[in-house]
Amino acid sequence: MNLVLKQQEIRVECFIKLESRTQTLQAFNALKDRHAQIEKDFSSGLDWQETLLHSPVGCRICSILTGGWKTPGLEWPVLQDRMIEAMLRLEKALRKPIHNLKLS
């Protein structure tokens, strides 16, 4: 699980990168097949990114939050709480489905 802090947005993500593109896509698609339950467990929709410009092998499942490092300092405590809460929800929603992956 990763947290990416940009100027105007925050991304909590599960970055998937296995030994080959084939294995990565197999894992990504197995999780995507369960997207309805995963998103229900997350309590919101997720962005399922099969293709990434910066990584020809990797895929990403993420949620993008408003705010970022340019957010005024007085708002940082609330922003940090939102980041932590979203990361915990994502980890909880994906823990069991990832553990149950069967890859060939």
**28-67 in b/e burial notation, b at 16+ Cβ within 10 A?**
beebeebeeebbebbeeebebbeeeeeeeebbbbbbebeb
Hey, what domains does the chain have and what are their CATH numbers?
Answer: 2-99 (3.30.310)
Both tokens assigned to 5: 């802090």
pLDDT by residue for the chain (104 residues), tens only, comes to 999 999 999 999 999 999 999 999 999 999 999 999 999 999 999 999 998 767 788 999 999 999 999 999 999 999 999 999 999 999 999 999 999 998 77
DSSP string, 66-101: E--TTS-GGGHHHHHHHHHHHHHHHHHHHHHHHHT-
Predicted TM-score (pTM) of this structure = 0.90
